[in-house]
Amino acid sequence: MGQRAKAGRAPLTDGVDYGICKPMRSAASLDRGLHRRLVDGLYIEAMVMADEARSYFDRGAEGEEGVTDPLRRVAFACESLKVTTRLMHVIAWLLSQRAWQRGEIGDADLADEKYRLGRAALTEPAQAEGFAFAARSLIEGSQDLYDRVARLQDRFDRMMGEGEAQDASPARALLDRLSQSF
């Protein structure tokens, strides 16, 4: 009991650590139903936003005040490309997660660069200031979605790293598999 109490965790009544509340250690240990709902929700959000962006930016600078200046038109075109790029990177990452869910790719494949979230340029707030509310909403919304997916990928990476470090012992791996079965 002394070791656990010193670590700041309260022991179970008999002082034995049953391993009931272990942290998740790999993408495979994440509840598949939770993972599916999370990915599906983000996928729907990304697809809706991509459709809104396509519709808005297809109209070009129509209705945009202050986008008559050639430099502002170029800035507007650049921002539309940034929004589209962010959304396509997010959608591609979510599709790779769906492929993992269906067993089309394995845990090790998720570490491959082609299945990771691609890099996307951020928009400087001052750059978007002069755009209409709808354009700013798409810019900020796509950045927010991209940031959330990047944090999710980082979390999965940490879970995978913890799993690799702790699975070094074959006995520990067997015990973990048994605890997941029950």
Secondary structure letter of residue 130 according to DSSP: T
Decide if 4 is inside a domain.
no
Decide if 17 is inside a domain.
no
pLDDT of 51 > 90? The answer is yes
pLDDT of 124 > 80? The answer is yes
Confidence of residue 21 (pLDDT cuts 50, 70, 90): very low
Decide if 53 is inside a domain.
yes
Asked whether 140 and 53 are in contact (CB, 8 A), the reply is no
Contacts of the segment 27-34: beta carbons below 8 A, 24+ positions apart: 27/100, 27/107, 27/110, 27/156, 27/159, 27/160, 28/107, 28/163, 29/159, 29/163, 29/180, 30/156, 30/159, 32/101
Q: Report which listed range, 16-30, 51-65, 119-133, is most confident.
A: 119-133
For position 78, which CATH number holds? 1.10.8.930
pTM of the full predicted structure? 0.70
The pLDDT of residue 173 is 66
Decide if 16 is inside a domain.
no
Contacts of the segment 171-177: beta carbons below 8 A, 24+ positions apart: 175/19, 176/22, 176/25
Decide if 135 is inside a domain.
yes
Decide if 128 is inside a domain.
yes
Q: How many domains does the chain have?
A: 1
Percent with pLDDT over 70 in the chain: 66
The token pair at 88 is: 């396509």
For 52-107, write each residue's pLDDT tens digit.
999 999 887 565 655 677 888 888 899 999 999 999 999 999 999 999 999 999 88
Domain that residue 111 falls in: 32-157
Decide if 21 is inside a domain.
no
Decide if 66 is inside a domain.
yes
The pLDDT of residue 3 is 43
Question: How far is Cα 124 from Cα 144, in angstroms, rounded to an integer?
Answer: 14
